[in-house]
Structure 1
Amino acid sequence: MIDKIDKQLISLLAKNAQTTLSELAKAVNLSISPCQSRIKKLEQQEYILGYHAHINFKKLEKAHIAFVQISLSDTRAKALEQFNSEVRKLEAVEQCHMIAGNFDYLLKVRTNNINTYRLLLSEKISSLPNVASTSTFVSMESVKE
């Protein structure tokens, strides 16, 4: 079980994974050693799974975001496993979520422009195992990520 201080540490690290140990300790009113011990415990207990960089996708020419609804022709366990395995191989697919609703999966896809996305959709995404149909929603602006 984690306490209020652990939750504060997680929140601070989620906002900025490069926050120094001394800054974290000061923010939660601990000395450095117990703060470091708490962070190691949170990592060991898998409350903290890793640390990530906040990427400037415009500079990398990967700022085009599309969300894709996927409906499968078969939703039995083996078909889902096949789809999951293959979608993980697509680098442009940033996120893939199985959805409870009137479609089966929602993908977040990041490319450099609509033309690259259109090609990815027609050549790769639509060819994933058991894909019956897709529907695309293009992001006009990222308000919060």
Structure 2
Amino acid sequence: MPLPKLRIYNRQKAHAIPLPWLRRIGKAALPGCLAALKSPDAPLALLEEIEITIVDDADIARVHGDFLDDPTPTDVITFHHGEILISADTALRQGSDHGQPLDHEVALYLVHGLMHLAGWDDHEAEEAQEMARIQEAVLKGAVEKVAAK
């Protein structure tokens, strides 16, 4: 199965985002996310391209309100047509709460979005725990692979 092409954009200005590193992490994470497909027709199995855009809280809150009827900021929003939005502001806050730097938290959200495209849902506690376990393993493997190069 060919890997989808990742396009990553930074559309916020408040926080420095290491885009080349993040692209390498995303590319390294794709095989693990594809291996974790919930079904063969999950969006990730069918997409040729995935667009990941890093935005601020105001932008993600607007999209959250427009599409999910919740006008508050959130960490990541994934659309099945292959679009992932990540809030850098939320990543900074939540990363600080968990002792993680911004770049690691953004990478976690990227993998989280890919897991949603792989068919995973985090609305039920049991599936959310399994999803978190897999995404942490995928992220760890991707970081190790990128660091080894």
Q: TM-score, normalised by structure 2?
A: 0.24
Bigger relative contact order, structure 1 or 2 (CA pairs below 8 A, ≥6 apart): 2
| Structure having the higher Rg | 1
Which structure has greater helix proportion? Answer: 2
